[in-house]
């Protein structure tokens, strides 16, 4: 499956659910307490992060997607901290602060990247189970949103979500649910549920085989009028199930797992952002799977940014290096710049790759962090070099260049000059090799300097050129 990031910034998602604060106390530990057999942690850092539905909204904002957050929390210092963090990240806070009801807070004590204990601060709040007021306000909250996410942490905000789903369905807004508990009937009519395997088995019973999983999921989707189920399966990846269609399995992509906290929030946020931006469900699931692999490599509740996801997609599809389309190259360069890397650009026919080319490209690569080589198309080479050229077609020339250690990305262009590419890509340094009296002989030099780039001229290795090689072959054959 070929993946491309949708236009996350064009989408807007409403998140409703349990809003809470994740608080972290971190520090070193080097001894056991004399009072009890427990480690003593010297707290050196205290960090607050939005949790629950707040973390879903924060993940959406990190992707560049507009997010609006509704629900309930306390009217206290923790709520002040939450609202400040969320608003600062670009989340529209539309939640209700309830006096006398403390904001749910999860305190985690961490040392050496390991969670030692979690302390939960929460009180039963029966009034939070009444969603009638929220349902009445839902048409206003949904205004401008393409997707509704229900982030259920079983804390009361979504104890009875039926009215919310009914309102969204009447407006043809997809409803994605991160469920909790063993009563999935509450989510009847939702578009998609994202249970983990344990949660699903608590509802449908043990699924000992893949066929049993599919059969029981099909039955559940039929009973609850669901359009899809996405079952997350930890180290075994995730499986998308849809009525009457073959299941789609995505293997896990995590390199290292430090902490699974908040991974479900990231999955449903990426799903919602992609669907809201117009992506098909299999594409959205594939992106969510890659995002999950990123977030479990972080410690604590975390969000995945759009540049992080783009880099991971490029790496997953082998586009971290090599021959790219212009669209892929634009994304790769944007990510390189986000990391503070300098992009070097050169161009040419590169018909027969020889020692002169290799030495020249190695010199060019040393001028920056990434080297882009733009290759003339076959038709362009023919116009520039005449009949009989190119010797090698563009795909072969690009393959050889992509295999060189000095080259990061190769792209093909159909014009006779790279002017259009330079205007689109805006490299930091334009490099050409040859006997130029100065930079003014380099095509496109004025374009690069106009936006503040640099132009450099490098020499070729003496007595080595494609034309010389071709002429020598012709002379040998003629002899």
Measured CA to CA, the distance from residue 335 to residue 313 in angstroms comes to: 12
Which DSSP string corresponds to 195-238? -BHHHHHHHH----SHHHHHHHHHHHHHHHT-SEEEEE-GGG-E
Residue among 146, 13, 7 at smallest CA distance from 67: 13
Q: Is 265 a catalytic residue?
A: yes
- What SS3 state is found at 419? helix
CB atoms within 10 A of CB 52: 28
Cα separation, 394 vs 421, in Å, equals 17
Number of CB atoms found within 10 A of residue 84's CB = 12
Cβ-based neighbour number of residue 345 at 10 Å:
28
Where are the alpha helices (H) located in 235-354, listed in sequence order? 263-276, 281-295, 306-316, 326-338
Set 22, 178, 265, 428: catalytic member: 265
d(CA 6, CA 100): 43
DSSP 441: G
Nearest to 361 by CA among 397, 313, 332: 397
Q: What angle do CA 198, 199, 202 make, to 5 degrees?
A: 85
Consecutive H or E run containing 148? strand 147-151
For 204-233, b/e burial (b = at least 16 CB within 10 A) is beebeeeeebeebbbebbeebebebbbbbb
Q: Which residues are catalytic?
A: 265
């Amino acid at each position: 499956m070929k993946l491309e990031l949708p236009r996350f910034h064009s989408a807007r998602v409403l998140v409703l659910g349990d809003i809470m604060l994740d608080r972290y106390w971190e520090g070193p530990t080097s001894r056991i307490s004399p009072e009890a057999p427990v480690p003593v942690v010297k707290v050196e850092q205290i960090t607050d992060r939005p949790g629950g539905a707040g973390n879903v909204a924060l993940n959406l904002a990190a992707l560049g997607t507009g997010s609006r957050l509704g629900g309930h929390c306390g009217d206290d210092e923790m709520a002040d901290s939450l609202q400040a963090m969320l608003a600062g990240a670009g989340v529209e806070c539309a939640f209700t602060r309830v006096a006398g009801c403390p904001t749910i807070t999860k305190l985690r004590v961490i040392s050496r990247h390991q969670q030692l204990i979690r302390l939960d601060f929460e009180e039963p709040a029966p009034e939070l189970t009444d969603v009638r007021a929220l349902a009445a306000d839902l048409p206003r909250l949904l205004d401008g949103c393409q997707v509704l996410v229900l982030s259920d942490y079983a804390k009361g905000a979504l104890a009875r979500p039926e009215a919310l789903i009914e309102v969204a369905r009447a407006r043809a807004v997809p409803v994605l649910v991160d469920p909790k508990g063993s009563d999935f009937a509450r989510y009847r009519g939702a578009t998609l549920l994202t249970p983990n395997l344990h949660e699903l088995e608590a509802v449908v019973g043990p699924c000992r085989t893949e066929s049993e999983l599919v059969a029981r999921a099909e039955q559940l989707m039929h009973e609850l009028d669901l359009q899809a189920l996405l079952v997350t399966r930890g180290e075994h990846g995730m499986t998308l199930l849809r009525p009457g269609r073959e299941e789609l399995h995505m293997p896990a992509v995590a390199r290292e797992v430090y902490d699974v906290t908040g991974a479900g929030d990231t999955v449903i946020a990426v799903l919602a952002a992609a669907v809201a931006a117009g992506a098909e469900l299999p594409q959205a699931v594939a992106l969510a799977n890659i995002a999950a692999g990123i977030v479990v490599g972080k410690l604590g509740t975390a969000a995945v940014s759009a540049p992080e996801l783009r880099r991971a997609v490029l790496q997953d599809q082998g586009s971290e290096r090599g021959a790219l389309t212009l669209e892929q190259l634009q994304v790769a360069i944007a990510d390189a710049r986000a990391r503070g890397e300098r992009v070097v650009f050169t161009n040419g026919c590169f018909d027969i790759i020889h020692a002169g080319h290799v030495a020249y490209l190695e010199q060019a690569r040393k001028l920056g962090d990434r080297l882009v080589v733009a290759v003339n198309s076959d038709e362009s080479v023919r116009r520039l070099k005449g009949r009989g050229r190119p010797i090698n077609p563009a795909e072969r020339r690009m393959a050889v260049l992509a295999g060189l250690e000095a080259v990061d990305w190769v792209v093909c262009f159909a014009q006779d000059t790279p002017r259009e590419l330079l205007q689109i890509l805006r490299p930091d340094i334009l490099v050409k090799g040859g006997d130029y009296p100065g930079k003014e002989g380099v095509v496109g030099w004025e374009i690069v300097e106009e936006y503040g780039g640099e132009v450099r001229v490098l020499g070729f290795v003496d007595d080595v050129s494609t034309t010389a090689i071709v002429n020598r072959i012709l002379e040998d054959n003629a002899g």
